[in-house]
Amino acid sequence: MKDALALALSVLFHDSPRRARQYYDLFASVTELEEHRNVLISQIQGKFQPVVTQRWKTLNLDLLRTQLDRMNVVTVMAHHPEYPLLLKEIDDAPPVLYVRGQVSALSQDMMGIVGTRGMSDYGKRATAEITSALTPYFCIVSGMAKGIDTVAHTTTVSQNGTTVAVMGTGIDQIYPRENEGLSRRIQEKGALVSEYPPGTDGLSFRFPQRNRLISGMARGVIVVEAREKSGALSTAGHAISQNRDVFAVPGPIFSDVSQGPNQLIKQGAFCVTSPNDILGEYNRLPLPRTTVTLPTSTSVIGPNVDQLQPTEHAVWTALSQPSQSIDNLSETTGIPMHQLLPVLTLFELKGWVGVGAGRRYSRHS
């Protein structure tokens, strides 16, 4: 009965998560919810009242379940053991999570990594270094946005780690579209997660709303680069109110995207100049490893070609000719574009290749 109630509330009140959670705790079934329909609708103010009224008229849980089965989407209810343990602590935890991929990822210890869409080269490299060091110890959770989020997810899957992408849209609405391939790679060991029913569009207010889930699932949140007013700082704000740890990577004082993390550090966030600054807070220092520090120079070591996968080896060989466009690389190697892009992204994150004018790739080494 509670499962049906959770689904109904996610359809009716997904734009009012605190209200949805309140009703989930208050009512025992959809029937009981229906008995109070008129009163509940009358309590809604402004433009959302007719929206919820229309949703109620068209509510069809059987049809929704059929859709979810067809899309291989699993529903994880708030009272189920698979529901993220830390997320249960927050006041406005959603009654249901829609999940694509490996539900088991939700029970792992998570660390959030967030930042600006308009990242610098420093931010990209810092994110890759930090993520690589944390992947053996944490499931990395982020929002699959352009920039820092994408680097965190891409680095994790390239290291064969587990990552969770929390979406600001319905589970079937990949945003941005260019991350369609990344979303499939995430699902192999990790998961896509949304509190929104299928078909929900990515309206602007939904992305700040979902940020509370990134921090709510995690032990802590790392802000790499962010402007003073940004989604990444809203995630940090949620983390503070949820009693999560907040970490920030300092940056140049003249950079707009350093203003957010630098301000967080002044306000008491942990200052991160090495991944060990994070791991040390959880008694997880990787003793067998040498200490990894954030990039301070442009010196780069190329890959050990004997350890490259066949596709990676073919791309690396093709890059022996400088200034290669992605079209040229695809034609030379015979590798389809959707397989080529993740390899080039990995090489770029590792610092093995650079990208020049016209998105032309060249080896650094």
Please report, for the chain, the start and end positions of each structural domain, with discontinuous segments joined by +. Answer: 1-69, 103-282, 305-363
List per-residue pLDDT tens for the chain, 365 residues long: 789 999 999 999 998 899 999 999 999 999 999 999 899 988 888 888 999 999 999 999 999 999 999 999 999 999 899 999 999 999 999 999 999 999 999 999 999 999 999 999 999 999 999 999 999 999 999 999 999 999 999 999 998 999 999 999 999 999 999 999 999 999 999 999 999 999 999 888 899 999 999 999 999 999 999 998 888 999 999 999 999 999 999 999 899 999 999 999 999 999 999 888 998 888 765 543 334 445 444 444 677 877 788 888 888 888 888 888 888 888 888 887 667 776 777 777 677 887 776 668 888 75
Side-chain half-sphere CA neighbours of 73 within 13 A: 26
- Pairing mode, if any, of strands 191-194 and 220-223? unpaired
Which residues neighbour 35 within 8 Å (Cβ) at sequence distance 6 or greater?
none
Residue type, 89: E
- Output phi, psi for 76, to 5 deg: -115, 110
CB 71 within 8 A of CB 198: yes
Sheet holding 353-356, edge to edge: 324-325, 360-363, 353-356
305-363 topology per CATH: Arc Repressor Mutant, subunit A (1.10.10)
- Does CATH number 3.30.200.20 belong to domain 103-282? no
Tell the burial category of 31 from Cβ atoms under 10 Å away from its Cβ (0-12, 13-18, 19+). exposed
d(CA 310, CA 298): 27
Structure tokens at 47: 């433009």
Residue 18's SS3 state is: helix
The residues with which 361 forms a beta bridge, in sequence order, are: 324, 355
